[in-house]
A and B are shown apart, each in its own frame.
Chain A
Amino acid sequence: MLHIDSIQNGIVLDHIKAGKAMELYRVLELNKLECPVAVLMNVSSTKMGHKDMIKISEDIEIGLDILGYIDPGITVNVIRDGKLVEKHCVDLPEKITGYLKCNNPRCITTTEQELQQVFKLSDRESATYRCIYCEAKYK
């Protein structure tokens, strides 16, 4: 059995859908941190069967919006002095800034590339996001 120590101070991203941890690792740019980061994949879970986890032994700023978009089931646990002090359940964000890219060739963002890419949630049930400029659906 693989054993990873509990962290004293930092963040634990729990209940990540199995197989998604590396995507989160890249998106959150965890490779740029100097502190220890543990990526656990395919951990047994009573609730999910299998899940991924990421343990970051530093209290960094995490973009909850992006987490919610990639996997709305994630739990963010903040640990201080070995104790759980905050717990956030992420959800689909209302707005996503600077992550998705509009692929409508007629959109103004295709010619004015310094414009910030912003998407708004237009249908929560189908997790549909639309570009705020041209309203094209993100595919």
Chain B
Amino acid sequence: MRSLFDINELSPAEIDSLIETANDMMANPAKYAHVADGKKLATLFFEPSTRTRLSFEAAMMELGGNVLGFSEAQSSSASKGESVADTARVVSCYADIIAMRHPKEGAPLVAAMNATVPVINAGDGGHNHPTQTLADLLTISREKGRLDNLTVGFCGDLKFGRTVHSLINAMVRYPNVKFVLVAPTELQLPDYVKKDVLQANNVEFVETTDLMEVIGDMDILYMTRVQHERFFNEEEYLRLRDSYILTPEKLNDAKPDLCIMHPLPRVNEISTAIDKDSRACYFKQVLNGKFMRAALIMMLLGLEAK
């Protein structure tokens, strides 16, 4: 039995296989409509994340399976003081697979150590969010036709942005991928990611505070939100919130086939005027996320389309 906590537990070959399944599912949904008949997914969301939870639930429904769960800790036994370990043991009796979101880092690992069914990390604090990265990888693959030979730009909160760390972790495994890191000084990529991931893999990267200086080099521009929930200090949050806002004017120097991504929800980092630009890929990312989650559920449950 296998669970998923971190994107790098999947080999590039397994990611290729998930991408292939997701693409096939998008092209032939009927082929997958009964793959998970009779199976149940439990979505255990100890902190609200409507989009991720709905994506998992929609993914299971695409496969013909059923869903149960809760969307915040107050409506679970956690509010009565039940441990994550006990919740995982109990839910294993009801469901065939668990997707868990928890504000505490490492909670899905604790769940998997005690569950008797596979556990998918649906986000644990500022730590990991592997299915967002799967959505990102499918989006890049579909938009650019490859995952190698790319210049990937990240902009915004690179310090607390776990989606950024996960995507960097995943993409350093592909040849000739370069990174451009755009962030205010206070929100730059942590040193341990630079040292342990980028430098350890001899990956080329540039750090700057000026988006306009580097936007023309990028094949991908991954925008992020400065996340309120990651700040202990309200003043610091308010000061950094509006650091970078992408507007149509800023795209003048960008490549015509730039792929603009965002893990959503956005606050104001991307002007709505960009939504109709063919380079805006963030809503496609949402759709891609559903299919990658469905492909992952199939893989972890050992299901195959007939």
The chain A residues found within 8 Å of chain B, CB to CB, are 104, 106-112, 114-115, 122-123, 131-137
Contacts and interface: CB of A to CB of B under 8 A. Distances in A.
Nearest to B107: A108
Interface in B102-118: 102-107, 109-110
A107 B106 contact: yes
A137 B104 CA distance: 16
B192 A131 contact: no
A104 B110 contact: no
B83 A133 contact: no
Interface of B: 83-85, 102-107, 109-110, 124-127, 192, 196
Nearest to A102: B106
Contact of A112 (B85, B103, B125, B127): B85
Given A106-B125, A106-B126, A114-B83, 13 more contacts: A106-B103, A106-B104, A106-B105, A107-B105, A108-B109, A109-B106, A133-B107, A133-B110, A134-B104, A134-B125, A134-B127, A136-B105, A137-B192
A106 B105 CA distance: 6
A63 to B, nearest CB: 23
B110 to A, nearest CB: 6
A112 B110 CA distance: 10
A29 B203 CA distance: 47
Nearest to B106: A133
A134 B83 contact: no
Contacts, number: 51
A29 B4 CA distance: 39
A123 B192 CA distance: 12
Majority SS at the chain A contact face: loop
12 contacts: A108-B106, A108-B107, A110-B104, A112-B83, A114-B83, A132-B109, A133-B109, A134-B104, A134-B125, A135-B105, A135-B106, A135-B127
B192 A134 contact: no
Nearest to B109: A133
Contacts of B104: 106-108, 110-112, 134
Contact of B102 (A108, A135, A137): A108
A112 B104 CA distance: 10
A112 to B, nearest CB: 5
Contacts of A108: 84, 102, 104-107, 109-110, 124
Nearest to B128: A135
Nearest to B230: A106
Which of A112, A132, A133, A135 is the most central at the interface, judged by chain B CB atoms within 10 Å of its CB? A133
A134 B105 CA distance: 5
Contacts of A123: 196
A111 B105 CA distance: 11
A104 B192 contact: no
Contact of B106 (A114, A122, A132, A137): A132
A131 B102 CA distance: 17
B53 to A, nearest CB: 20
Nearest to A136: B105
